[in-house]
Amino acid sequence: MKDQFDHVRTWVFDLDNTLYPPSSRLFDQMDDRMNNWIMQAVGVSYDQAHDMRVGYLAQYGTTLTGLMQHHAIDPDAFLLDTHELDLSNLAPALHLRAEIDKLPGRRIVFTNGSRRHADRVTEALGLRGAFDAHYGIEDAQYVSKPTQQAFDLVFEAEALTPTTSAMFEDMAENLVIPHNLGMKTILVAEDETPEDHAHVHHVTDDLADFLSRING
């Protein structure tokens, strides 16, 4: 395993359901906060807000994109409110921190959430200072992964060289462009294999253990 990653000098990590397990259920909180925010901002019922959130997510990749296009909402106000989550379900990830600290080169977070959300979650996980930069959706001009523009903007800001980089994601579709650019791609998910996705090099359900094998 180590030999396959000896060339990597930039390590890109998604945040939600990648650095912590889905069992933490932070998205349940976020979905509820989004429904309430839409209800107040757009003037619809809770059920209508729910349908709007789900529909925009399916159509545009994020609920935020749909709200910006159809309702001219302030994206920063939306992100600030909907990402202010109770993080008490997150415990310090000591093994993960130890393995991230061993990775050579730059280590960054690239999330479709806000930069503040990345700051708060990494702090709760005991990962403060583990990464050289946090990139949120505001750094991609509010365009989300898996859109090409999102990767272009963040990777340009990072001065990232794809052929010496690896990306860890919990959503397979967000690894298509990184794979096409020449990055190593790792899907962090349960009950999947690399054979399920032609653009995924590795699959793991234990990020810390996977990094320990890379580190040798």
26-53 pLDDT per residue, tens: 999 999 999 999 999 999 999 999 999 9
Q: 192 pLDDT band (50/70/90 cuts)?
A: confident
CB 107 within 8 A of CB 131: yes
Query: Rounded mean pLDDT of the chain?
Result: 96
Separation between Cα atoms, residue 12 and residue 185, nearest integer Å: 10
CATH topology of domain 2-20+91-215: Rossmann fold (3.40.50)
Residue 191, pLDDT > 90, answer no
> CB under 8 Å to 208, separation ≥6 — which residues?
93, 95, 96, 98, 99
Reading across the β-sheet that carries 165-169, which strands appear in turn? 133-135, 106-110, 10-13, 165-169, 184-188, 202-204
Q: Find out whether 76 and 138 touch, Cβ atoms under 8 Å.
A: yes
User: What's the burial of 182, exposed, middle or buried (CB within 10 Å: 0-12/13-18/19+)?
Assistant: exposed
Domain boundaries along the sequence of the chain: 2-20+91-215, 26-82
Q: Lowest-pLDDT range, 85-89, 127-131, 189-193?
A: 189-193
Domain made up of 26-82: CATH architecture:
Orthogonal Bundle (1.10)
Residue 21 and residue 204 in contact, taking contact as beta carbons nearer than 8 Å: no
Which residues are paired to 13 by β-bridges? 109, 168
- Ordered DSSP codes for 137-200: GGGGTTPPTTSHHHHHHHHHHHT--GGGEEEEES-GGGGHHHHHHT-EEEEE-SS--GGG-TT-
Q: For the chain, how big is the Rg over CA atoms in Å?
A: 17
Cα torsion through 101, 102, 107, 111, rounded to 10: -60
In whole angstroms, give the CA distance from residue 88 to residue 98: 22
